[in-house]
Amino acid sequence: MAKDVIIALDFPNGRDALSFLENFKEEEVFVKVGMELFYKEGPEIVRKIKKLGHKIFLDLKIHDIPNTCAGATRSLLSLDVDMINYHAAGTGKMLNEASKLIKESNKEVISLAVTMLTSTDEDTMHDEIKIDKDLVLEDVVLSYAKLSKNSGLSGIVCSALEVPKIKEALGEEFITVTPGIRKDKNNSDDQKRVVTPKDARKLGSDYIVVGRPITKAENPLNAYREIKEEFLGGK
Ligand code: C5P
């Protein structure tokens, strides 16, 4: 299975994102475009980045009624993105319709589910989302992951620390995309539970998502290469 590093393009506008990508003229990379950049620049930023030869994870976390979700999926498929995601809480019917459309398109698009956002803790999950008090967060993540797999999605976004359990329950082929990666565990910015690229490999992550350790590095290309080498097993 393909393993790769995805660079999170967390920039406020297209000019900054494209200027950062000047560092990657010699190397085609996989980047994540999130809501901040997409809502500012629209689909044109996706076309521009694709034109540079890079792969795109369009992180828009779709969550709506099945019909609207299907329409959104059609629009994203027309942009030729490489990875898209949905909230598992949108339920099986929504996820099913999306994965059916992706399969019918014959495009190689990886579809992921977001399970429980990492900003939601267990108390909030019980008190505000009203998930049964008997369930711990880990059970809910696993149950959403199962629902996603049964609905035809390719994988989930999760912490690298959760990968062994997910793979054990859902199989090696079920893709795990893991943010919260730091080479230096003492320099974690606002991330709470960080994992090194090497440990992410050992834990079985398929893709790691890395933002600031690359975007804020003095030499982003070198930082990217070092992280990639460590993740893929060169070091
Ligand atoms: O800069 P940093 O490496 O922390 O960026 C991580 C990226 O992954 C950001 O775009 C962040 O929004 C995203 N992400 C995350 N944790 C999640 C889901 C997404 O850090 N649970």
Q: Does 212 show up as a binding residue in the annotation? A: yes
What is the per-residue pLDDT for 1?
Answer: 75
- Ligand 1 atom at minimal distance to the Cα of residue 181: 3
Q: Does 65 show up as a binding residue in the annotation? A: yes
Q: Are 112 and 84 in contact (CB under 8 A)?
A: yes
Question: What CATH superfamily is the domain 4-232?
Answer: Aldolase class I (3.20.20.70)
Could you give the CA distance from residue 172 to residue 193 in angstroms, rounded to a whole number?
23
Could you give the CA distance from residue 79 to residue 126 in angstroms, rounded to a whole number?
38
CA distances from 80 to 84, 109, 110 (A): 10, 8, 11
Residue-wise pLDDT tens digits, 190-215: 878 899 999 999 999 999 999 999 99
pLDDT-derived band at 118, boundaries 50, 70, 90? confident
Could you give the CA distance from residue 113 to residue 92 in angstroms, rounded to a whole number?
11
Residue-wise pLDDT tens digits, 58-76: 999 999 999 999 999 999 9
Candidates 209, 214, 216, 227: which one to mutate for ligand 1, based on the most atoms within 8 Å of Cβ? 209
Q: Does 67 show up as a binding residue in the annotation? A: yes
Structural domain boundaries of the chain? 4-232
pTM of the model: 0.96
177 forms beta bridges with 157, 207
Distance from the alpha carbon of residue 159 to the mean position of ligand 1, in angstroms: 10
Could you give the CA distance from residue 215 to residue 229 in angstroms, rounded to a whole number?
17
Tell me which of 8 and 189 has the higher pLDDT.
8
Could you give the CA distance from residue 212 to residue 43 in angstroms, rounded to a whole number?
24
Annotation marks residue 3 as catalytic: no
When the pLDDT of each residue in the chain is averaged and rounded to a whole number, the result is 95
What is the per-residue pLDDT for 205?
Answer: 98
Q: Does residue 83 register a pLDDT over 80?
A: yes
SS3 category, 202: helix
Could you give the CA distance from residue 45 to residue 33 in angstroms, rounded to a whole number?
9
Could you give the CA distance from residue 92 to residue 108 in angstroms, rounded to a whole number?
21
Among residues 36, 187, 224, the alpha carbon closest in space to that of 16 is found at 36
Q: Are 207 and 154 in contact (CB under 8 A)?
A: no
pLDDT-derived band at 234, boundaries 50, 70, 90? low
Could you give the CA distance from residue 44 to residue 131 in angstroms, rounded to a whole number?
39
Among residues 3, 48, 50, 61, which one is catalytic? Answer: 61
Q: Does 213 show up as a binding residue in the annotation? A: no
Distance from the alpha carbon of residue 8 to the mean position of ligand 1, in angstroms: 7
Among residues 66, 73, 68, the alpha carbon closest in space to that of 105 is found at 73
Q: Does residue 235 register a pLDDT over 60?
A: no
Residue nearest to atom 10 of ligand 1 (CA): 8
Residues having CB closer than 6 A to ligand 1 are 8, 10, 34, 118, 157, 179-180, 189, 191, 209-212
